[in-house]
């Protein structure tokens, strides 16, 4: 009876080793037990021919545990860095859960540029804590952190997958990927941000990991036949002691002869790209172009086309139904449905050029270079030069292979080769996206979240290439036996390579930790300030009725409002008062009018033009109850200076907040250096103030 062992991908059975990339059917002891052939190193083959995972699963769990520990820290301490995260993701989710929230113009039913499929995915996560704690008290805070921890798990699993596959194809690449993914400030910020870009980052990371998994599979397939022949020859030379032993040996030979190798890893890579584009961020497709090219090279046009078209059709139908429902397309009946798809709308919007992203600010070509240098320090320059280093290592590998073949009289080298060219395709998403988005006039840090995984792979390629270069020169010097000088040079090369590696490792960790701590401590005041609002505001505001809204006013600091998840209950409302900013601001969903997500509040526009409806004009019947400001904006004096609007503001809480304009020392401002940063940085105060007077009578409340 012939058993067929189907190996999906070499990653499931290949031993991870820092000294060599062992193949699953290399030298290993085998013994028969109840009809089961057991491998003592990496895999177990049962009687039905299924390869079971052992060591690889353990290693995967350890990688995941390491990454999750740092991602959990991000889930707890990370800031809300981008107002788009607030008004395009967090606020719509809060509206779906608690029927209160603001929206940006992109979510208006008139434009419908953001996918509700992405919003709904997070709303499902928040349903459990909302059901348990409600929208009162701190229930929404629990829902917020539940979603963040879900994002942390999603990110950690993707990075662990990528690290595992890189460790198998080249241990130094894998070690570097683990280092960058674990300590990189960019990963710390992006991994738990509730942005479509972060979700697309996780998808692109999985696409790259699946691609490398396929490369591992090919490496085994190329050497598979040779290994089988060796196993058969050893069995034939073995002396047969009994008929029973003969049957066991024949059975083992049959199993080896009927091995079938298949892999769908490249198809899964294409599938993850489609998910990232249609559910996450449509422009993530820019980073997926090299993955598609690699798929065509590896498995052909037909398989690649199927892998892209089939999930695209399914997800396009799903997102169309989802967007049509939330943007009100079904409101006129099934036969008069106005079909809506946010991906189609955003493509049409950018092709037409209406509005223009330039309205929201422009940056010069060096913006991403400066930003990535801050977020990844040492790893960033290593990633930039990866294509050159990969080509150099590929050429070097060919030359050494030719010399080895010549020395061995035509025999091929037994050493497994690193597929540098194919691996380069897995790193190119970073370079393609960097060039593409650098050419765009409007730039934002979140645009490059999608390629943080390929950036780590690129850094690993450069590190591996450098170490291989040192190793090669050491071998060359070793063969030259003229004098003590050359022997000393060989040792010097070895020590120098180790010194550079360890120094770079320590420098990267130190700079990353310093930058991450600086972000959290310098700019962490807004979340804590909004979290200090009282759960029982009527004890502070004696002239308010239980049915009244509690108005939290904010002026020029509007873009740092974290979300309604950070307000104590549904009675609180964020109110924008007129300040120096004169562009378009978010508005509340029209839940009172029964329109909800399908509504288009009057005043939302794609021209970044202010509208009267976006401002809150406090009066005696509807005053500002709390005020959020800084010493620099000073909205309490600028807006409320005229009588009788003397609110008698009293400070509830104040926290330090870095003043970038006055902190001129670059090192102190961008990194946290104990002692040095405190001395050279200038801080303003972030205030939460409460009204202490009745606006109608002028009497103090307490």
**pLDDT over 90 (residue 34):** no
The C-alpha atoms of residue 630 and residue 555 are separated, in whole angstroms, by 10
Reply yes or no on whether the pLDDT at 653 is more than 70: yes
pLDDT tens sequence across 587-642: 999 876 557 899 899 999 988 999 999 999 988 888 999 999 998 877 777 777 66
Q: Please give the average per-residue pLDDT across 314-334, as a whole number.
A: 88
* Residue 4 buriedness (CB in 10 A; 0-12 / 13-18 / 19+): exposed
User: What digits encode the pLDDT tens for the residues 504-545?
Assistant: 889 999 999 999 999 999 999 999 999 999 999 999 999 899
- Of residues 139 and 677, the one with the higher pLDDT is 677
For 193, 559, 593, 642, the CA distances from 573, given in Å and listed in that order, are 23, 15, 17, 24
> Model confidence at 478, in pLDDT bands (50, 70, 90)?
low
Q: What does the alpha-carbon distance between residue 156 and residue 182 come to, in Å, rounded to a whole number?
A: 9
Question: How would residue 131 be classed by pLDDT, with cut points 50, 70 and 90?
Answer: confident
For residues 307 and 301, is the Cβ–Cβ distance under 8 A?
no
Q: Where are the alpha helices (H) located in 439-549, listed in sequence order?
A: 452-479, 483-522, 525-530
What contacts 284, CB < 8 A, 6 or more positions away?
197, 200, 203, 204, 273, 276, 277, 450
Q: Mapping DSSP to helix (H, G, I), strand (E, B) and coil, where does residue 549 land? A: coil
Q: What is the crossing angle of helices 452-479 and 420-438, to 10°? A: 130
User: What are the b/e assignments for 223-245, b being 16+ CB within 10 Å?
Assistant: bbeebeeeeeeeeeeeeeeeeee
CB 159 within 8 A of CB 64: no
Cα gap 48→36, rounded to integer Å: 9
Question: Mutual orientation of helices 420-438 and 386-407 as an angle, nearest 10°?
Answer: 170
685 bridge partner residues: 656
Lowest mean pLDDT among 142-151, 221-230, 381-390, 559-568: 221-230
DSSP 551-600: EEEESTTGGG---GGGSSSTTEEEEEPP-S--S---EE-BTTTT-BTT--
Rounded distance, CA 580 to CA 583, Å? 9
Query: pLDDT band for position 401 (50/70/90)?
Result: confident
Evaluate if residue 256 carries a pLDDT over 60.
no
Of the candidate ranges 141-150, 291-300, 479-488, the one whose mean pLDDT is the lowest? 479-488
Contacts of 135 (CB under 8 A, 6+ apart): 97, 98, 100, 569, 570
d(CA 369, CA 381): 9
Quote the CA–CA distance of 266 and 250 in Å, as a whole number. Answer: 36
Assess contact for 619 and 696: CB atoms under 8 A: no
CA distance 51 to 508: 39
Alpha-carbon span 179 to 163, nearest angstrom:
9
pTM above 0.75, yes or no: yes
d(CA 7, CA 4): 10
Closest CA to 94 of 72, 115, 125: 125
Cα 575 from Cα 551, distance rounded (Å): 6
Least confident of 11-25, 443-457, 517-531, 555-569: 11-25
**What percentage of the chain carries pLDDT values higher than 90?**
59
Both tokens of 388, joined, read 């050159």
Phi/psi at 69 (5° precision): -60, -45
Residue 679 has pLDDT above 60, yes or no: yes
Residue whose tokens read 């995972």: 53
Between 256 and 521, the more confident residue is: 521
* Phi and psi at residue 256, to the nearest 5°: -65, -35
The answer to whether the Cα torsion of 215, 221, 226, 230 is positive or negative is: positive
CA 86 – CA 279 distance, rounded (Å)? 18
Which percentage of the chain shows pLDDT scores above 70? 79
pLDDT at 473: 65
User: Is residue 42 predicted with pLDDT exceeding 90?
Assistant: no
Indicate whether 50 pLDDT > 50: no
* Number of other CB atoms surrounding residue 221 within 10 Å: 14
The CA distance from 170 to 186, in Å, is 24
Tell me how far CA of residue 373 lies from CA of 368, 382, 384, 390, in angstroms. 8, 11, 11, 22
Phi-psi region of 250 (alpha: psi -120 to 50; beta: other; left: phi over 0): alpha
Helices (H), ranges, 134-195: 139-169, 171-183, 185-191
pLDDT given for residue 225 in this prediction: 47
Answer yes or no: is pLDDT of 30 > 70.
no
How many residues would you count in the chain? Answer: 702
pLDDT at 366: 92
d(CA 397, CA 401): 6
Pick the closest to residue 400 from 388, 390, 412 (CA basis): 412
């Amino acid at each position: 009876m012939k058993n067929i062992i189907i190996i999906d991908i070499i990653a499931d059975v290949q031993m991870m080793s820092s000294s060599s990339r062992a193949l699953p059917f290399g030298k290993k002891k085998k013994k028969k037990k109840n009809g089961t052939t057991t491998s003592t190193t990496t895999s177990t083959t049962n009687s039905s021919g299924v390869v079971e995972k052992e060591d690889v699963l353990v290693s995967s769990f350890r990688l995941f545990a390491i990454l999750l520990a740092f991602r959990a820290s991000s889930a707890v301490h990370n800031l809300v860095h981008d107002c788009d995260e607030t008004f395009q993701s967090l606020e719509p989710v809060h509206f779906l859960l608690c029927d209160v929230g603001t929206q940006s113009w992109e979510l208006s039913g008139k434009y419908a540029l953001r996918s509700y499929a992405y919003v709904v995915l997070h709303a499902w996560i928040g349903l459990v804590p909302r059901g348990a704690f409600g929208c009162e008290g701190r229930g929404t805070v629990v829902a917020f952190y539940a979603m963040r921890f879900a994002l942390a798990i999603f990110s950690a699993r993707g990075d662990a997958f990528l690290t595992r596959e890189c460790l198998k194809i080249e241990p130094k690449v894998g070690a570097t990927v683990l280092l960058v993914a674990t300590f990189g400030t960019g990963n710390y910020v992006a991994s738990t941000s509730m942005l479509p870009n972060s979700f697309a980052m996780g998808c692109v990371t999985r696409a790259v990991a699946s691609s490398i998994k396929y490369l591992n599979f090919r490496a085994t397939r190329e050497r598979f036949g040779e290994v089988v022949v060796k196993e058969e020859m050893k069995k034939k030379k073995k002396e047969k002691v009994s008929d029973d032993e003969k049957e066991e040996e024949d059975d083992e030979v049959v199993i080896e002869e009927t091995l079938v190798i298949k892999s769908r890893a490249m198809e899964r890579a294409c599938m993850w790209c489609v998910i990232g584009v249609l559910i996450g961020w449509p422009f993530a497709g820019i980073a997926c172009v090299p993955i598609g090219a690699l798929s065509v090279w590896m498995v052909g046009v037909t398989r690649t086309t199927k892998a892209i078209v089939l999930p695209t059709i399914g997800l396009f139908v799903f997102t169309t139904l989802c967007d049509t429902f939330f943007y009100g397309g079904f409101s006129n009946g099934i036969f008069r449905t106005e079909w809506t798809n946010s991906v189609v709308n955003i493509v049409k919007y950018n092709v037409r050029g209406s509005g223009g992203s330039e309205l929201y600010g422009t940056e010069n070509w060096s913006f991403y270079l400066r930003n990535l240098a801050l977020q990844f320090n040492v790893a960033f320059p290593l990633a930039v030069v990866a294509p050159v280093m990969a080509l150099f290592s590929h050429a070097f590998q060919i030359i050494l292979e030719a010399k080895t073949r010549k020395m061995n009289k035509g025999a091929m080298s037994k050493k497994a080769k690193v597929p540098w060219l194919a691996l380069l395709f897995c790193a190119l998403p970073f370079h393609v996206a960097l060039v593409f988005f650098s050419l765009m006039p409007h730039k934002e840090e979140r645009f490059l979240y999608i390629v943080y995984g390929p950036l780590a792979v690129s850094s690993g390629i450069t590190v591996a290439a450098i170490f291989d270069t040192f190793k090669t020169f050491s071998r060359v010097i070793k063969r030259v036996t003229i004098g003590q000088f050359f022997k000393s040079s060989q040792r010097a090369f070895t020590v120098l390579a180790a010194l550079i590696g360890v120094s770079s490792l320590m420098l990267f960790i130190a700079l990353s930790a310093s930058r991450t701590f600086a972000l959290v401590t310098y700019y962490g005041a807004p979340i804590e300030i909004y979290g200090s609002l009282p759960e029982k505001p009527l004890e502070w505001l004696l002239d308010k009725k239980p049915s009244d809204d509690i108005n939290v006013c904010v002026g020029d600091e509007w873009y740092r409002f974290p979300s309604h998840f950070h307000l104590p209950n549904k009675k609180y409302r964020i109110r924008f008062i007129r300040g120096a900013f004169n562009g378009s601001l978010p508005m509340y969903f029209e839940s009172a009018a029964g329109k909800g997500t399908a509504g288009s509040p009057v005043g939302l526009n794609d021209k970044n033009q202010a509208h009267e409806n976006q401002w809150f004009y406090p009066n005696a019947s509807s005053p500002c109850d709390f005020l959020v400001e800084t010493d620099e904006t000073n909205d309490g004096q600028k807006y409320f200076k005229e009588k009788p609007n003397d609110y008698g503001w009293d400070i509830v809480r104040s926290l330090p907040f870095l003043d970038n304009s006055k902190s001129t020392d670059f090192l102190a401002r961008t990194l946290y250096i104990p002692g040095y940063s405190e001395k050279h940085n200038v801080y303003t105060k972030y205030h939460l103030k409460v009204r202490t007077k009745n606006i109608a009578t002028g009497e103090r409340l307490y």
